[in-house]
């Protein structure tokens, strides 16, 4: 049953990642990978929210498997982030590559923190 939950979450997260990435990237001209940046930050927000909801409670493991491992695991993409950053650096856009790394780490951490805080605030 565990693997079915992960697969189900992944079946939602992977196409969602593709569609969001393409939609965001189409709206921005230039070489900066806004689509990947967006899906990674969104995934951090979702995982932070899930973590905040489950903190201090006996949250059902099926929710963690479905949303945490499956959905956000398929939604976010470290490999594409790494590849696109390398591609920026190799094309001479080293400043954009460095900005991508710094902004992705800062925004990802901030989104996870915000999600966890939002979950705790909603729980009262």
Per domain, the residue ranges of the chain are: 2-123
26 pLDDT tier (thresholds 50, 70, 90): very high
What kind and span of H or E run contains 29? none
Give yes or no for residue 66 having a pLDDT over 70: yes
Structural tokens at position 119: 């979950």
Give me the pLDDT at residue 56, please. 63
Give me the pLDDT at residue 59, please. 63
Dist. CA 95–CA 89, nearest whole Å: 8
Q: Which of 73, 70, 62 is nearest to 7 (CA)?
A: 70
Mean pLDDT of 48-67: 82
Q: What's the full length of the chain, in residues?
A: 124
Mean pLDDT of 56-81: 88
CB burial of 34-59 (b: ≥16 within 10 Å; e: otherwise) equals: bbbbbbbbbbbbbbbbbbbbbeeeee
Q: What is the pTM (predicted TM-score) of this model?
A: 0.92
Would you say 50 and 73 are in contact if contact means Cβ atoms under 8 Å apart? no
Give me the pLDDT at residue 61, please. 78
Give me the pLDDT at residue 14, please. 97
């Amino acid at each position: 049953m565990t693997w079915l939950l992960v697969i189900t979450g992944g079946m939602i997260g992977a196409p969602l990642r593709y569609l969001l990435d393409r939609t965001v990237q189409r709206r921005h001209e230039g070489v900066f990978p806004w689509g990947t940046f967006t899906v990674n930050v969104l995934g951090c927000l979702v995982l932070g929210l899930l973590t905040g909801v489950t903190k201090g409670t006996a949250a059902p493991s099926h929710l963690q498997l479905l949303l945490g491992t499956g959905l956000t695991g398929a939604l976010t993409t470290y490999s594409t982030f790494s590849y696109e950053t390398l591609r920026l650096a190799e094309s001479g856009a080293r400043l954009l590559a460095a900005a991508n790394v710094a902004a992705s780490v800062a925004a990802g951490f901030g989104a996870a923190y915000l999600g966890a805080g939002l979950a705790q605030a909603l729980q009262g």
